[in-house]
Chains A and B, each alone.
Chain A
Amino acid sequence: MKKFTTHRGVAAPLLRINIDTDAIIPSREMKRVSKHGLGEGLFAGWRYTEPGGRRPRPEFVLNQPAYNGASILLSGSNFGCGSSREHAVWALVEYGIRAVIASGFGAIFYGNCIRNGLLPVVLPDAVVRQLAAAVAADPQACPLTIDLQQKTVVAPGGGAFSFAIEPALQEILLQGLDPIDITQKMQRRIASFETTYRRRRPWLFEPG
């Protein structure tokens, strides 16, 4: 998995609340049994003029030249709520988004981000709006800098905002770790738990 240490990039504001995973990647855009080929379908309903079409809707923020190459999204509360589809994260990553900054995230979406090297940053709404204002005049010339080691987002003017993240999740992102590998190192502990657990709750394994 791609590591996340520090990132400097163009930030695009999508300051709506409750942006759900159906909006991030509509069902009709999940066409193959694959984690790839989803970037094109990112925000398809807002990004293109027709369902299934590819003609850009000029007013959508990511279609505006000022936000060309955007790699950070600024959004409202409860970003990524709804369906568990990890396709939403795969689509964001393939499009080139490295971090989403919002006042809250759907819980499953948050976990999916960690598993794919996408950094979810939780900051209060007022700070998110402040960051959006700081980059608005010239997004290309005013990138945001995110330092995961320091757990800060630095605005172009220099103001730094601290955010919190569980240490275990921070480590996974910083090192680009695969949680399955980490857990498999605890194999003996799992096996010993399982043996006593099966004795304790046998009906779950041998219904009789």
Chain B
Amino acid sequence: MGKTLFEKIWTDHQVAELEGDTCLLYIDRVFLHERTGSIALQSLEAAGRKVRNPQQVFCTMDHIVDTLPGRSDRTRVPGGEAFIQTTRSASHSAGIKLFDIGDPGQGIVHVISPEQGIVQPGCTLVCPDSHTCSQGALGALAWGIGSSEAEHALATGTLRVNRPRTLRVDFEGRLPPGVGAKDMILHLIAAHSTAGGAGFAIEFAGAAVRELEIEARLTLCNMAVEFSAFTGLVAPDRKAFDYLRGRPYAPRGRAWEQALAYWRTLRSDDDARFDRIIRIDCAAIAPTVSWGTSPQQASAVSAQVPSPAAAADAAAAKSIERALAYMGLEPGRRLTDIPIDAAFIGSCTNSRLSDLRAAARVLRGRRVAAGVKAICVPGSSQVKAAAEAEGLDRVFIEAGFEWRESGCSMCFYAGGESFGRRQRVISSTNRNFESRQGPETRTHLASPVTVAASAVAGRIADVREFLR
């Protein structure tokens, strides 16, 4: 019987079989950031342990650093300076490459790792950050871990991992206009619940996935963790190879040819067996927006706020009731009738150049509605520079958006900023949890084009009306 892509990568890294379903896996790449990486490095040093393979470890500043222009080590978040400086000195003494503040390569870990060619098809990559699954978009086995596990990976070059089952999600057909990767993943989670991917490594497949560019695949895989999956991945193809060619850490010359020959074998065999398969008809996906406090509480933008009475069971009904109370919404209200206070474009989900270009197409020649605070935070310093080189910053600024330095920013409390109590934000991020974007802030997840359209309309908007 054939093997799935996941099985091929897993087997290639298997150092030893341990008890039960647990294996010791070789780890090719560890990425760290200043919030959780600082503690891992500090704790490793305190235990008298060394980083086994420093040349396979990378670090960035994204979680705590300010995104306001003219930033330094000082942050609005109390104590932020210590995270930044501990990370810097620990990285230096361990001999780890750090993408520091001011480095042209600095940015959000899951934006810069592909951008630098650090993540590659068939490699294992871990990071003490839940959205590490994003990087599966390049055909890697990449997953989020805790700080202690990061210490394990740093000290031993391996991790003890319980083998997940396999799920293939086929996105069949073509995406309608105005619909993108963010809508695909929100649609999937809304249809199959946040628990739908629990215990699985997901291979995203189907015609619509093959059509997606690499940056959009990164968006798709990014929210595999919101689907409770171990990770998500996409079989690497010519788009992936073309994307990686010439990147700073990508193989060159003979090494490139050697790598390419291997990468071309990285696909699920035709007779491979998956533990589960989900099929989604892309024609049925609309621009999707969340209305509640869990990513599964999302609907087509043309829908109405649902009633708890329509829930599948009592626990879900209670959760909807609580979500609507938190969000200040009542059943039956049309999503497009909900006014917003703020709009945010950024985060490891949707802050890459293609996201900013798409949002700028909506914003060009338009203005953000009066009273709406609008912020754009490019995902990396390189994305920012590239956007500025083609004048996108002017489009955002002229439309009334703030244009920031790169980092995680207001996806949560990075840089110590939040939107404020009961402020309603339409956001290109990944989590609409209670108080995620600040105490009592109300988050609606959406694609960057839906965020741009909504910023202009001053209410949740159907971006398709802007594309006509």
Residues of A within 8 A of B (CB): 16-18, 20, 22-23, 26-28, 30-35, 45, 51, 76-78, 81-86, 89, 104, 106-109, 111-112, 115-116, 125, 166-168, 171, 179-180, 183-184, 186-187, 189-190, 193-194, 197, 200-208
Q: Which residues of B contact A112 (CB under 8 A)?
A: 146, 148-149
* A111 CA / B162 CA spacing, docked (Å): 10
Q: Which residues of B contact A51 (CB under 8 A)?
A: 439
Known contacts A23-B435, A183-B156; A167/B49 CB under 8 A? no
With contacts A33-B83, A86-B147, A189-B16 known, what are 5 further pairs, Cβ within 8 A? Answer: A104-B228, A171-B19, A197-B26, A204-B123, A208-B256
* A125 CA / B412 CA spacing, docked (Å): 30
A180 near B431 with CB under 8 A, answer: no
A180 near B156 with CB under 8 A, answer: yes
Q: Which residues of B contact A125 (CB under 8 A)?
A: 315
Q: Which residues of A contact B15 (CB under 8 A)?
A: 186, 189-190, 193
Residue in B closest to A183 when the chains form the complex, CB atoms: B156
A194 near B26 with CB under 8 A, answer: yes
* A179 CA / B162 CA spacing, docked (Å): 14
Residue in A closest to B38 when the chains form the complex, CB atoms: A33
Does residue B79 face the partner (Cβ distance < 8 Å to A)? yes
Interface centre among A16, A26, A206, A208 (most CB of B within 10 A): A208
Does residue B304 face the partner (Cβ distance < 8 Å to A)? no
Interface size on B, residues (CB 8 A): 81
A111 near B146 with CB under 8 A, answer: yes
* A194 CA / B422 CA spacing, docked (Å): 53
Question: Which chain B residues in 163-201 approach chain A with CB under 8 Å?
Answer: 194-195, 198-199
* A22 CA / B408 CA spacing, docked (Å): 15
* A200 CA / B20 CA spacing, docked (Å): 28
Known contacts A86-B146, A180-B151, A190-B157; A22/B433 CB under 8 A? yes
Q: List 28 A-B contacts (CB under 8 A).
A: A16-B318, A18-B294, A20-B433, A22-B431, A22-B435, A28-B416, A33-B83, A34-B39, A35-B43, A77-B195, A78-B195, A78-B228, A83-B129, A84-B144, A108-B146, A112-B148, A168-B20, A168-B22, A179-B160, A180-B47, A190-B15, A190-B156, A190-B158, A193-B26, A203-B255, A203-B256, A203-B259, A205-B55
Residue in A closest to B13 when the chains form the complex, CB atoms: A197
CB distance from B418 to the nearest CB of A (A): 8
Q: Which residues of A contact B254 (CB under 8 A)?
A: 208
Residue in A closest to B436 when the chains form the complex, CB atoms: A22
Residue in A closest to B296 when the chains form the complex, CB atoms: A18
B146 near A84 with CB under 8 A, answer: yes
Binary flags per residue of B34-54, CB closer than 8 Å to A gives 1, else 0: 011011001100010100000
* A17 CA / B258 CA spacing, docked (Å): 48
CB distance from A138 to the nearest CB of B (A): 25
Q: Which residues of B contact A33 (CB under 8 A)?
A: 38-39, 42, 82-83, 86
B83 near A111 with CB under 8 A, answer: no
Known contacts A33-B42, A204-B28; A82/B20 CB under 8 A? no
Does residue B18 face the partner (Cβ distance < 8 Å to A)? yes
Q: Give which listed residue, B18, B156, B198, contacts A107 with CB less than 8 A.
A: B198
Question: Which chain B residues in 117-165 approach chain A with CB under 8 Å?
Answer: 120, 122-123, 128-130, 144-149, 151-152, 155-158, 160, 162
Interface centre among B79, B82, B155, B434 (most CB of A within 10 A): B434
B156 near A208 with CB under 8 A, answer: no
Q: Give which listed residue, A106, A183, A197, contacts B24 with CB less than 8 A.
A: A183
CB distance from A131 to the nearest CB of B (A): 16
Does residue B249 face the partner (Cβ distance < 8 Å to A)? yes
Q: Which residues of A contact B70 (CB under 8 A)?
A: none
CB distance from A150 to the nearest CB of B (A): 18
Q: Which residues of A contact B152 (CB under 8 A)?
A: 179-180, 183
Interface centre among A23, A28, A190, A203 (most CB of B within 10 A): A203
* A46 CA / B293 CA spacing, docked (Å): 15
Known contacts A18-B319, A180-B49; A207/B252 CB under 8 A? yes
B160 near A168 with CB under 8 A, answer: yes
CB distance from B25 to the nearest CB of A (A): 10
CB distance from A75 to the nearest CB of B (A): 11
Q: Which residues of B contact A26 (CB under 8 A)?
A: 413, 435, 439
A108 near B79 with CB under 8 A, answer: no
Q: Which residues of B contact A167 (CB under 8 A)?
A: 19-20
CB distance from B16 to the nearest CB of A (A): 6
Q: Which residues of B contact A104 (CB under 8 A)?
A: 195, 198, 228
Q: Which residues of A contact B416 (CB under 8 A)?
A: 28
Residue in B closest to A52 when the chains form the complex, CB atoms: B439
A16 near B36 with CB under 8 A, answer: no
Q: Give which listed residue, B147, B199, B322, contacts A16 with CB less than 8 A.
A: B322
CB distance from A51 to the nearest CB of B (A): 4
* A116 CA / B38 CA spacing, docked (Å): 18
A28 near B79 with CB under 8 A, answer: no
Q: Which residues of B contact A18 (CB under 8 A)?
A: 194, 294, 319
* A189 CA / B26 CA spacing, docked (Å): 11
B77 near A206 with CB under 8 A, answer: no
